[in-house]
Amino acid sequence: MSPFLTALIASVTILVIILATDLGTRRVTTMRMMRSVIAVALIIALFVHSLPTSGNAPTFQLLGVGVGIICGLVAGALLPAHRGADGAVHTTGGLGYALLWLVLSSARVLFAYGSEHWFAADLVRFSIDNKLSGPDVYANAFVFMSLAMVLTRTAILVLKRRRLAAAPSDPSAPSASADHSAHRPEHPATAG
């Protein structure tokens, strides 16, 4: 399968699952979070055929992981969470969130297409100059980027769910981030 077709299938699959589960106001459930992680794990199983370790290949693939973590942090920030009237934790995925995933997915597909049609010779020269061993390095870096982005976004959802689930449900109760002195009982002599 060509790198372009691989990138297209992987990117569209992840994009559809993420947008289907995160756009709009959605309850944060374990299944919702696991659906995208399972999808990326399947993508890895289907499309990562080798793990190049010569030259700068490991560093380049780790660079994909690092970029994925940064993008996942941005995605998590664009997915605000709140406790709904039902007491469950919900997120609201809007236009900015959708655009982030759409732009990154499109960039992966365009790069794969360009590597076959627009800048194949330049990519070969870049690979030789930087000791990168073949197209699997690039495909892996993009797949690892996707995995890191999804895992980081999922970790942020878990943290948001835990934080909001532990917060008092009464809006008049002090928040978890309030000054600790607000939680001490007042002494009758100091009440005023």
Question: The dihedral of CA 118, 104, 144, 7: what is its sign?
Answer: negative
- For residue range 86-98, what is the model confidence (pLDDT) as tens digits? 889 999 999 999 9
170 pLDDT higher than 70: no
CA within 13 Å, CB half, 174: 10
Give the whole-number percent of the chain exceeding pLDDT 70.
Answer: 86
User: 102: pLDDT confidence band, cut at 50, 70 and 90?
Assistant: very high
Which whole number is the average pLDDT over 37-62?
A: 85
Which one is predicted more confidently, 50 or 63?
Answer: 63
Give 91's strand partners.
Answer: 26, 81
Give 89's strand partners.
Answer: 83
Q: Specify the pTM.
A: 0.80
Tell me the C-alpha to C-alpha distance, in Å, between residue 92 and each of 72, 87, 189.
16, 15, 47
CA within 13 Å, CB half, 175: 4
Which whole number is the average pLDDT over 59-72?
A: 95
Residue 34, both tokens: 């696991």
Which whole number is the average pLDDT over 6-33?
A: 89
137 vs 61: CA distance, rounded Å: 7
